[in-house]
Amino acid sequence: MSSKLNQMIASKYFSFFVTLALFVILYGAGMAIYKGFMRPQVFLNLFIDNAALIIVTIGITFTLIIAGIDLSVGAVLALVCMVLAWLLANTGIPLGLAVLLVLVMGTVFGAVQGYIITKFDLQPFIITLAGMFFCRGLTAVISQDTIQIVNPDWVALASYRIDLGVGFISIGAVVALIMIAIAAIVLGFTKFGRAVFAIGGSESSAALMGLPVFRTKVMVYAISGFCASMGGLAYSLIMLTGYNLHGLGMEMDAIASSVIGGTLLTGGVGFIPGALIGVLIQGVILTFISFQGTLSAWWTKIVVGALLCVFIIMQALITEQKSKLSSKRSMEDNNNPPQAATAAQ
Amino acid sequence: MDMLKKFSGSSLFLPVVALSVLLIFNTLFVDGFLTIQMTEDGHLYGRLVDILNRSCSLIILALGMTFVIATSGIDISVGAVVAISAAVVCTLIGGRGDGVAEMPMSVAMLAAVGVGVLCGMWNGLLVAKFKIQAVVATLILMTAGRGVAQLMTEGQIITVYYKPFEYIAGFLPNMPLPTNIFIALAMVLLVAVLMKKTSIGLFVQSVGINPTAARYAGINVTMVIFLVYAFSGLCAGVSGLIESSLIRAADANNAGLNMEMDAILAVALGGTLLSGGKFYVGGSVIGAITIQTLTTTMYALGVSADQLPVVKAAAVIIICLIQSKKAQEMFDKWKASRHSQQKNDNKAVFGKAVKQL
């Protein structure tokens, strides 16, 4: 029995199942307390309201897997919202081109960060922290006031709802779900994805194996930048404005979601569907607070921070347990060779 | 010439040069920059005093940050801790319009600093005991901390009318300089004495260079890291007192905003490597004054507070590049390949870096 439990804890997906169980329990509790939780639309709203966060979390998960971090995502999101609003308000360029421009901008920004980090061997957090301040500042340079987006096409896109029979979802949510699927496939089933995990496990081993470490790392940060700017577009669809304080502290929410969803901060382990559940848990907490009515929105941040702590500490304990297990297994190896294969996982 | 060479190799070179350039720039372009007047009630008054006054909280933050960075960690929660400490002191004294304190000010101040230390200990616990990366551990408090401060002040900006509260960042009667300059001086002296008379500095440094080796050498690594974060929390708590006294209010949203960046920048500018190890307290202090001078200069040039991070972010990246070993290697290679032009190029590159600072 205990060996089965140990095996379960050592499984790659243990964290994911804990998260899933937590989500189900939270949602069940919500249904028990508030009747409103029963409506399917409340569930779908989780996706609509958190579309931007879901997309940003995908990018963050990539950087966390290679044992890096990207603190600039919230600021990039704000910058994208602002540039899009500014372009639409002050220039005559068509909507499609403006969207393409901001996407390219975000991706290039991410790639530049990745290049500086990798080329000069600098700590990712300091460079992306600088990137965060840079983007926030730049957003304020463009405009210190809110810029409204009045472009009819973008407004129409923002209010477009896809009917699912039991409820509806927005364009942003659909984009988020598609990106989740793509990211899961890229990480799970492509050469690039395997290289990402290998670098996260051990960068020098990956380099010795002949994997393109430099290119992969830069690409990971570029992906993070791309996801942040995609998230910016989704955010812009909800807010329809460009404003300096959009997405403040979102990097923390995204990192929290990713970690709650089973990404190890030490790198090498990550699971995209887990990250999605991580975001949804935060969404449920927010829904709780809005159903409750009297609690201040600041409680979300505090609860998420506490949750993040719990999960990080759980991770630390699991990692310790795992290393204990594997050393035990390697001692048993002589008697029982086939088990070594499972232990290696 | 030899002395010049010695100086250019020392850790103080970069911050001192940056500070001098800023001061020269200000002297040339800002009217009456260097004049210091004595007001009737015996207070010194002038732009230089102002810069020194404003840089106090940053100096104190940079002190704590220096040790954290020396252990190859980072504390990005200091800004939020400043907000928490400000919220504590202001809620305890209370915003009563008749200028009466609800709690004695000394109790409120002690509580604020104590809460700062608690926050630091929390960070230390996560980093030292649970071995969580410093960025992530302190990121939790960075975002959640402002929420806590917001809850304490119930989303309001609490303005304190209690008169003695001004003294923390203002003038005590018959004192030529504001009190916070003395507070900062006391903290710097305390650290300097600790460095000179104890081996704490050596412990911190060896933990930063190689924690495993430090452990085998008999240093309690966990304890050192824990204390370093607690000290950073203490510094942030004291900073919070000064920041709130400056505006006589607690603003949970804006108190200490972006200060973590300034503190990191000050430490990096002071010559301490962000990867840990050798650290320079004096460099950090001068770095902090430099940052404040830069901020004041930018304000004088009409750059607004929320645009300022662009300049500072650029400065951080440049300093990181200057410090980076790989960049130095590349620079050396490039220098060798263009040996003939060496001197001119050297000057040009350095001139550019200084200009962008």
How would you write the pLDDT of chain A (345 residues) with one tens digit per residue?
566 767 766 677 777 888 899 899 989 998 998 888 888 898 999 999 999 999 999 999 999 999 999 999 999 999 999 999 999 999 888 999 999 999 999 999 999 999 999 998 888 888 998 999 899 999 999 998 899 999 899 999 998 888 888 889 999 999 999 999 999 999 999 999 999 999 998 999 999 999 999 999 999 999 999 999 999 999 999 999 999 888 887 888 898 899 888 888 888 888 899 999 999 998 998 888 888 877 777 777 788 788 888 887 787 777 777 777 777 766 665 555 444 444 444
Give the closest-approach CA distance of B318 to chain A in angstroms: 10
Residues of chain B with pLDDT under 50: none
Q: Is A29 helix (H, G, I), strand (E, B) or coil?
A: helix
Query: What is chain B's length?
Result: 357
Q: Which residues of B touch A129 (CB under 8 A)?
A: 76, 261, 264, 316
Q: Which residues of A touch B130 (CB under 8 A)?
A: 312-313, 316
Closest residue on chain A to B327 (Cα):
A120
What distance in Å separates the CA atoms of residue B181 and residue B284, rounded to the nearest whole number?
Answer: 16
Beta-bridge partner residues of A170: A161
Residue A8 belongs to a domain: no
Please give the pLDDT value at position B262. Answer: 87
Touching check for B130 and chain A: CB below 8 Å? yes
Q: Which residues of A touch B324 (CB under 8 A)?
A: 120-122
Please give the pLDDT value at position B113. Answer: 95
What distance in Å separates the CA atoms of residue B75 and residue B232, rounded to the nearest whole number?
Answer: 8
Q: Which residues of A touch B326 (CB under 8 A)?
A: 119-121
B171-191 pLDDT, tens digit per residue, is 887 778 888 899 999 999 999
Domain spans, chain B: 45-299
Nearest CB among A131, A255, A299 relative to B313 is that of: A131
Q: Which residues of A touch B314 (CB under 8 A)?
A: 130, 134
What distance in Å separates the CA atoms of residue A103 and residue A111, rounded to the nearest whole number?
Answer: 12
Contact flag B136-A119 (C-beta cutoff 8 Å):
no
Residues 6+ apart with CB under 8 A from B267: B62, B65, B66, B69, B274, B279, B284, B287
Give the closest-approach CA distance of A136 to chain B in angstroms: 7
Please give the pLDDT value at position A190. Answer: 94
Touching check for A144 and chain B: CB below 8 Å? yes
Q: Are B320 and A127 in contact (CB under 8 A)?
A: yes
Touching check for B125 and chain A: CB below 8 Å? no
CA angle A9-A13-A15, nearest 5°?
65
Nearest CB among A127, A131, A313 relative to B130 is that of: A313
Closest residue on chain B to A304 (Cα):
B144
What distance in Å separates the CA atoms of residue B66 and residue B268, rounded to the nearest whole number?
Answer: 9
ipTM above 0.85?
no
Count CB atoms within 10 A of the CB of residue B342: 12
Touching check for A120 and chain B: CB below 8 Å? yes
Q: Give the count of domains, chain A.
A: 1
Q: Which residues of A touch B307 (CB under 8 A)?
A: 137, 140-141, 144
Please give the pLDDT value at position A292. Answer: 81
Q: Is A54 helix (H, G, I), strand (E, B) or coil?
A: helix
Q: What are residue A167's phi and psi, to 5 degrees?
A: 180, -165
Selected residue of A63, A134, A255 to mutate for chain B interface (largest B Cβ count, 10 A): A134
Element (H, E) at A169: strand A168-170
Q: Which residues of A touch B321 (CB under 8 A)?
A: 116, 120, 122
Interface list for B 310-329 with A (CB within 8 A)? 310-314, 316-317, 320-321, 324-327
Residue A21 belongs to a domain: no
The β-bridge relationship of strands B158-159 and B44-46 is unpaired
Residue A293 belongs to a domain: no
What distance in Å separates the CA atoms of residue B29 and residue B47, rounded to the nearest whole number?
Answer: 13
Beta-bridge partner residues of A241: A148
Please give the pLDDT value at position A303. Answer: 82
Residue A308 belongs to a domain: no
Structural domain containing residue A133: 39-280
Residue A328 belongs to a domain: no
Nearest CB among A127, A130, A298 relative to B151 is that of: A298
- b/e per residue B76-108 (b: at least 16 CB within 10 A): bbbbbbbbbbbbbbbbbbebeeeeebeeebeeb
Contact flag B130-A252 (C-beta cutoff 8 Å):
no
For the domain covering B45-299, report its CATH number.
Answer: 1.10.3470
Please give the pLDDT value at position B1. Answer: 57
Please give the pLDDT value at position B344. Answer: 59
What would the two tokens of residue A111 be? 């790639």
Nearest CB among B76, B155, B306 relative to A137 is that of: B306
Dihedral sign (CA B225, B231, B233, B236): negative
Closest residue on chain A to B330 (Cα):
A120
Please give the pLDDT value at position A86. Answer: 94
What distance in Å separates the CA atoms of residue B59 and residue B75, rounded to the nearest whole number?
Answer: 15
Contact flag B132-A249 (C-beta cutoff 8 Å):
no
Closest residue on chain A to B141 (Cα):
A305
Selected residue of B75, B304, B320, B324 to mutate for chain A interface (largest A Cβ count, 10 A): B320
Contact flag B132-A312 (C-beta cutoff 8 Å):
yes
Contact flag A137-B307 (C-beta cutoff 8 Å):
yes
Touching check for A126 and chain B: CB below 8 Å? yes
Closest residue on chain A to B326 (Cα):
A120
Touching check for A306 and chain B: CB below 8 Å? yes
Give the closest-approach CA distance of A122 to chain B in angstroms: 7
Please give the pLDDT value at position A10. Answer: 66
